[in-house]
C-alpha cells in the first residue's frame, strides 16, 4: 500500500475544527444568494485568491466576514452537514467541533438558531454517515470577559448539546488570564475546558492556560517548545496538543513544512495530534493535513498511527468508545 493510500484509508479522529472555518467558497456564494447578502467577491476563484494571510489576524478578518452569510438554522445545518460529508469520505470516525457563537450573536443571529442548526446536523451525521461528534463552544478572546460570561449564560440551557468550552480568536494581547473567572465558572457548570495557546502567543500564555484556565487539552501549543520547563509540564501532565499543520503554514506560524514541530513534539513525548483548524481557508481537511507533514517530516507509518491513537486517547468520549476506535485502527494497521 502506498503512503498516500495508507493516509487516506487510516481511520482518523479530528479534535480541532472550527465549523465556521469549513465554509467553502461555493457554499458562501449559495448562502449569500439565498439570504440576499452582498459579499465583496465576484467569483469563487476571487475568494480563494483572497486567502493569502501574513498572520492570524489577516485570516480572522476574512473569517468573520465570511461567516456573515450564515443567517438561518438551515444555513448552520447545511454548513455542518457539508463538513461531516467531507470527513466521512476521509475515514474520520469521530470529530470534536468548535463553534463561535459570538461571531453570530454579535451580528444579531440568535444563539438558539446557531446551536439548533449545528446539533441537528451532528445528529443526522451520526445516524446517516456514522461520524460521532462532540461540540465545544469557544469564547472570542478579543471580546470582553463580560461578553464571555453572557455567552456562557446563554449556553446553560443547552448543556445537553455542548460538552466543553474553548478560547479562540486574536491571541496576542488577550492572554488566558483575561478569562480565568469565566473558565472557573464553566468548569463549575461541568464543562470540559480547552484553549488555543502558543499559536502566536508566548510560552507564558501556555502556562496561564494550564495553571489559570486548568485546560483538559491544548489547541496548537507550538510555542511551548521554546520553554523546556513547559515541555516537561505538558509531558508529565499528559496534556494533548491539537496541532494544525496546514493552518500553521498558511498563517506563517512555520516557514515551511520541513520546519514544522510535529515530529519534534512526538520525539519529546508530547501527545500531539493532527487536525485541520479551518479547512476551507487553509487548503484541506484531515487527509490533506496528514499528507502535508508525512513527506517533509519523514513520518513513519508507525508515527502516523501514533498520531491517530493520540487523538483517540485525547478525545472526550467514553473509555468504551475509545476502545472501539482503537480496535478499528489496530485492524487497519494489520491489513495495511
Ligand atoms: N478561529 C478560527 N481559527 C482560529 C485559529 N487558528 N486561531 C485562533 N482563532 C481561530
Ligand atoms: Zn483553531
pLDDT tens, position by position, 48-106: 999 999 999 999 999 999 999 999 999 999 999 999 999 999 999 999 999 999 999 99
Rounded Cα distance, 122 and 77, in Å: 8
Question: pLDDT value at position 272?
Answer: 99
Domain that holds residue 160: 3-315
C-beta 56 within 6 A of ligand 1: yes
**Is 96 one of the catalytic residues?**
no
Question: pLDDT value at position 62?
Answer: 96
C-beta 168 within 6 A of ligand 1: yes
Query: Residue 191 falls within a domain, yes or no?
Result: yes
Query: Residue 300 falls within a domain, yes or no?
Result: yes
- What are the strands of the beta sheet with 240-243, ordered from one edge? 12-18, 92-99, 132-140, 164-168, 192-197, 217-220, 240-243, 271-274
Three cell numbers, residue 158: 443547552
Query: Residue 228 falls within a domain, yes or no?
Result: yes
Query: Residue 257 falls within a domain, yes or no?
Result: yes
Burial status of residue 227 (CB atoms within 10 A of its CB: 0-12, 13-18, 19 or more):
middle
Question: DSSP secondary-structure letter at 277?
Answer: B
Q: What is the dihedral of CA 256, 257, 259, 264, to 10 degrees?
A: 160
Question: pLDDT value at position 11?
Answer: 98
pTM over 0.95: yes
State the catalytic residue, choosing from 14, 199, 200, 208: 199
Ligand closest to Cα of 102 equals 1
Query: Residue 103 falls within a domain, yes or no?
Result: yes
pLDDT tens, position by position, 260-307: 999 999 999 999 999 999 999 999 999 999 999 999 999 999 999 999
Q: What angle do CA 122, 124, 127 make, to 5 degrees?
A: 110
Query: Residue 320 falls within a domain, yes or no?
Result: no
Query: Using CA positions, which residue lies closest to atom 6 of ligand 1?
Result: 277
Confidence of residue 229 (pLDDT cuts 50, 70, 90): very high
> Which region holds residue 128: left if phi is over 0, alpha if psi is between -120 and 50, else beta?
alpha
Q: What total of structural domains would you count in the chain?
A: 1
> CATH no. for residue 43?
3.20.20.140
Query: Residue 327 falls within a domain, yes or no?
Result: no
Average pLDDT over residues 22-40: 96
pLDDT tens, position by position, 219-228: 999 999 999 9
Q: Which of 60, 209, 243 to mutate to test the pocket of ligand 1 (most atoms within 8 A of CB)?
A: 60
Question: pLDDT value at position 127?
Answer: 98
Closest CA to 233 of 258, 209, 267, 249: 209
Rounded Cα distance, 66 and 147, in Å: 22
Three cell numbers, residue 207: 502556562
Query: Residue 329 falls within a domain, yes or no?
Result: no
Residues 6+ apart with CB under 8 A from 267: none
pLDDT tens, position by position, 107-158: 999 999 999 999 999 999 999 999 999 999 999 999 999 999 999 999 999 9
The Cβ-side half-sphere exposure at 13, using a 13 Å CA radius, reads: 29
pLDDT tens, position by position, 155-214: 999 999 999 999 999 999 999 999 999 999 999 999 999 999 999 999 999 999 999 999
Distance 169 CA to ligand 1 centre (A): 5
Question: pLDDT value at position 144?
Answer: 98
Question: pLDDT value at position 296?
Answer: 98
Amino acid at each position: 500500500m502506498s503512503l498516500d493510500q495508507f493516509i487516506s484509508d487510516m481511520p482518523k479522529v479530528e479534535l480541532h475544527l472550527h465549523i465556521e472555518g469549513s465554509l467553502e467558497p461555493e457554499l458562501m456564494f449559495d448562502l449569500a444568494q439565498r439570504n440576499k447578502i452582498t459579499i465583496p467577491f465576484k467569483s469563487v476563484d476571487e475568494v480563494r485568491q483572497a486567502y493569502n494571510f501574513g498572520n492570524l489576524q489577516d485570516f480572522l478578518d476574512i473569517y468573520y466576514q465570511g461567516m456573515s452569510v450564515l443567517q438561518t438554522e438551515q444555513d448552520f445545518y447545511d454548513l455542518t452537514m457539508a463538513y461531516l460529508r467531507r470527513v466521512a469520505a476521509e475515514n474520520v470516525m469521530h470529530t470534536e467541533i468548535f463553534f463561535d457563537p459570538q461571531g453570530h450573536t454579535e451580528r444579531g443571529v440568535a444563539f438558539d438558531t446557531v446551536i439548533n442548526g449545528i446539533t441537528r446536523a451532528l445528529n443526522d451525521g451520526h445516524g446517516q454517515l456514522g461520524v460521532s461528534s462532540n461540540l465545544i463552544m469557544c469564547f472570542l478572546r478579543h471580546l470582553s470577559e463580560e461578553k464571555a460570561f453572557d455567552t456562557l449564560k446563554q449556553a446553560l440551557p443547552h448543556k445537553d448539546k455542548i460538552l466543553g468550552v474553548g478560547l479562540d480568536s486574536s491571541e496576542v494581547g488577550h492572554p488566558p488570564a483575561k478569562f480565568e473567572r469565566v473558565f472557573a465558572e464553566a468548569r463549575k457548570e461541568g464543562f470540559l475546558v480547552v484553549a488555543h495557546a502558543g499559536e502566536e502567543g508566548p510560552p507564558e500564555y501556555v502556562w496561564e492556560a494550564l495553571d489559570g484556565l486548568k485546560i483538559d487539552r491544548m489547541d496548537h501549543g507550538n510555542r511551548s517548545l521554546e520553554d523546556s520547563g513547559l515541555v516537561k509540564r505538558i509531558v508529565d501532565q499528559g496534556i494533548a496538543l491539537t496541532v494544525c499543520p496546514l493552518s500553521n503554514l498558511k498563517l506563517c506560524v512555520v516557514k515551511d513544512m520541513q520546519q514544522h514541530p510535529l515530529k519534534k513534539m512526538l520525539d519529546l513525548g508530547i501527545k500531539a495530534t493532527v487536525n485541520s483548524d479551518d479547512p476551507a481557508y487553509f487548503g484541506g481537511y484531515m487527509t490533506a493535513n496528514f499528507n502535508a507533514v508525512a513527506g517533509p517530516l519523514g513520518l513513519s507509518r508507525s508515527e502516523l498511527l501514533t498520531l491517530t491513537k493520540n487523538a483517540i486517547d485525547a478525545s472526550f468520549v467514553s473509555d468504551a468508545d475509545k476502545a472501539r476506535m482503537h480496535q478499528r485502527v489496530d485492524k487497519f494497521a494489520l491489513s495495511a
